[in-house]
Every structure is written in C-alpha cells, then in structure tokens.
Amino acid sequence: MAEIGGPISETADPTEILAAEETGWTGLHSLIDQLTPDQAARPGYYVEGWSAKDLLAHVGVWLAEAGMMLERITVGTYRDEDVDVDAVNRLSLDAMRDLPFSTVKAQASAARTRMRRAVLELNSPSPEATRWIAKAGPEHYEEHLPRLRDWAAELRAG
C-alpha cells in the first residue's frame, strides 16, 4: 500500500491512492486546524512571506489542477504538457491572498473532493493520472508538512 512519504506505484489501484491521499490530508489538517485565523494569516511560513493560509491555498489550487487533469484523462482530452509551476503558484497566491481563512479552507476542501471523485472515475489510473494524484496530493503534502509542523509550533509558542 502507498503511504505518505513514499512514492505511489504506477500500478497502485484507486483505493491505495485514496488511502495515501487521506493520510496526507489528515496530517496537513491536524496542523492547520490548530491555528486561529490570525495565526493562519501570519506571514513566516516561507521567507517569501507565505502564511499557513497561503500554503493551504497553494495546496488547494494544485488539487484543483489535478482534478481538472484527471477529468481530462478520463474523457480522453488530456495532453501531457509542461505546466509553469512558478506561474501557477504566483497567480494562485495573488488570487487567494486576500480571501478569509474560512474561504481558503472551503476552496481546498472542494478541490480535494473534486480530485478524489476524478480518481474514482478512472478505471485504471494511467502513469499520467498517478503522477498528477501523487504530485498534488500525498507527495505535495509531504513536501510541506515538515515546515508546517515547525511553523505551527512557532505560532502556538507565541
């Protein structure tokens, strides 16, 4: 079974993929949900000025992107093209920065639901689908969890 921190096998079935995603999402939210809206909006998660709220917005945008790509894979309109990660990150941060924490949480949750539904629509995930799921979900969560753990502890300490 695929677990957070490890790669998702290209032969993993949707149940394994969703279990790995659930583990990562739970880990992310176990930290995010401890924060007040003011703590979540405080810059410092990244030196570039990101807050924990910005992080959650960032994760939500990539979950939405993965959901869209999985839907394209399902209906046969997907094209494997390079995505300008920096541009997507920049645009999403600009678009979401002024939104309330509750709205960012709702967006991320809705995007996650969309991606999970798209996973269930796949008969057998292709390598491209598996890559999108892993990169937007479990691997992405794992990439951000260490700093989020540290930042949440710093915020709670005062």
Select from 126, 132, 85 the least CA-distant residue to 111: 132
Percent of the chain with pLDDT over 70: 92
Average pLDDT score, the chain? 89
DSSP H helical ranges for the chain: 14-32, 37-41, 52-75, 85-96, 101-121, 127-136, 138-157
Provide the 8-state DSSP code for 47: T
* Whether residue 81 has pLDDT greater than 50: yes
* Mean pLDDT score, 8-24: 81
List of residues 6+ apart from 116 with CB closer than 8 A: 18, 21
pLDDT tier for residue 5 given thresholds of 50, 70 and 90: very low
Nearest CA to 148 out of 50, 18, 4, 1 is that of 50
Instruction: Tell me the CATH class for 14-157.
Output: mainly alpha
pLDDT of residue 91: 87
Using an 8 Å Cβ cutoff, are 47 and 82 in contact?
A: no
Q: CA–CA separation, 16 vs 1, rounded Å? A: 6
The pLDDT assigned to 65 comes to: 94
Report pLDDT for 7. Answer: 60
> What length does the chain have?
158
Single pTM value for the model: 0.90
State what percent of residues in the chain have pLDDT above 90.
66
Is 2 a residue whose pLDDT tops 50?
Answer: no
Say yes or no to pLDDT of 115 above 50: yes
- Report whether pLDDT(142) > 50: yes
Q: What is the biggest distance separating any 2 CA atoms in the chain, rounded to whole angstroms?
A: 51
Kindly state the tokens that stand for 59.
Answer: 């994760």
